[in-house]
Amino acid sequence: MKLETFIIKRLFLMLIVLFGVSVVVFVVARAIPADPVGAILGGNAPIELVDEMRRRLGLDKPLFDQFLDFMSGVVRGDLGVSIKSNRPVIKDIAEFFPATLELAIVAALISIILGVPLGIFSAVHRNKLVDHFCRVFSILGVSMPVFWTGLLLLILFYYRLGWLPGSGRVGIFTVMPPKVTGLLLLDSLLAGDFGAFKDALSHIILPAVVLGYSATASIARIMRSSMLDVLRQDFIRTAKAKGIGRRLVIYRHALRNALIPVVTVIGLTFGSLLEGAVLTETIFGWPGLGRYIVNSLLLLDYPAIMGGTLFVAVVYSLVNLVVDIIYAALDPRMRV
């Protein structure tokens, strides 16, 4: 199959999956055994007010009509109005998501840039000193919980050494650059404001390293084992017999095959970075979507919960789509 056909097919599949996710989100939200109206108005509100509120939220209609309303909203990109902020949920998401995205991207970059070469190095120098070092590093990364590394690094670099700030995206006195992408690092560069860039960078380092460490570790581990696995294959022997030399055998013939499972892990890792962002954002006071959804849950802010969840699902599927495309580009056997 041609790569283009494959991508189109995957896009259709993604639409189906997103429809399924919407249904699940809707059903789960309706199944929460708590009354949002009660939560908003309190238990003693007069009945007229409760009815009025139910009407406003559309809760008086039959369930199926509610579902149709929800879905037609989703299709138009309208996720309803947040009960707490009284703003369209989509606006809230637009405000909070870039922070999460920026954190996840920086963490992902760190983990790929460190994890992939570390894994290759480890495999090529199997059982040598570097390999042992990398493996210890990986085991620590996979087994240490995020909140623990987070607190450890906070104590060291913020309280003790004072080298790095401990919370937020920028210092309170920093003037924010004009918003273009919502990614501060990018926006400050676009504005040519290097002061803001340095400030944003110093703020993102700790949370990104904490978030990226376990991802680095799992990428390095899978890269190593995948590389070792590939180096044992018959076609590697063929490549050696061709006389093309060790470098090409490793970087042309082995690496491309070995990257295939790693790409999946990178994709999964990016998903888990979005997930892990909830904890990291809490520890580092990072104003992102993770914190937004947690707060909405605590307040039973229903449209916000549904909208936020659906949005995360969309991002997840997009990441998966990209992973599948890379996968198919790397491995011709996958284009089925």
Partner 1 sequence: MSRLLDVENLRVIFHTYRGTIKALNGIRLWLNEEERLGIVGETGCGKSVSALSVMRLIEAPGEIIDGQILFEGNDILKLSEEDMDRHIRGKRMSMIFQEPISALNPVFKVGFQIAETIAHCNDISIGDAYKLVPESLEMVGLDWKRSIDLYPHELSGGMAQRVMIAMALAIKPKLLIADEPTSALDVTIQAQILQLLDELVKIGKNAVILITHDLGVASEFCDRITVMYAGNVIEISNSEEIFDEPLHPYTKGLISSIPIIGASRELTGIPGSVPDLVSPPSGCRFHPRCDFCFDRCRTEPPTLSEISPGHFVACHLYSDGVKEG
For binding to partner 1 (CB under 8 A), which residues are involved? 233-235, 237-246, 253, 256-257, 260, 330-333
The least distance separating partner 1 from the CB of residue 259, rounded to whole angstroms, comes to 9
Structure-token match 């309303």, residue found: 69
What burial class does residue 331 get, using C-beta atoms within 10 Å of its C-beta: 0-12 exposed, 13-18 middle, 19+ buried? middle
The least distance separating partner 1 from the CB of residue 132, rounded to whole angstroms, comes to 17
Joined tokens for residue 87: 């703003």
The least distance separating partner 1 from the CB of residue 126, rounded to whole angstroms, comes to 9
The least distance separating partner 1 from the CB of residue 248, rounded to whole angstroms, comes to 8
Q: At residue 122, what is the residue type?
A: S
Q: What is the DSSP string of 249-308?
A: IIIIIIHHHHHHHHHHHHHHHHHHHHHHHHHHHHHTT--SHHHHHHHHHHTT-HHHHHHH
Alpha carbons 144 and 158: distance in angstroms, whole number: 20
Q: Is the dihedral of CA 317, 319, 323, 325 positive or negative?
A: positive
User: Smaller CB distance to partner 1: residue 258 or 274?
Assistant: 258
* Alpha helices, DSSP H, located in the chain: 3-31, 36-41, 47-57, 63-76, 89-124, 129-143, 146-153, 184-190, 194-231, 234-241, 246-248, 255-283, 289-298, 302-330
The least distance separating partner 1 from the CB of residue 235, rounded to whole angstroms, comes to 4
The least distance separating partner 1 from the CB of residue 2, rounded to whole angstroms, comes to 12
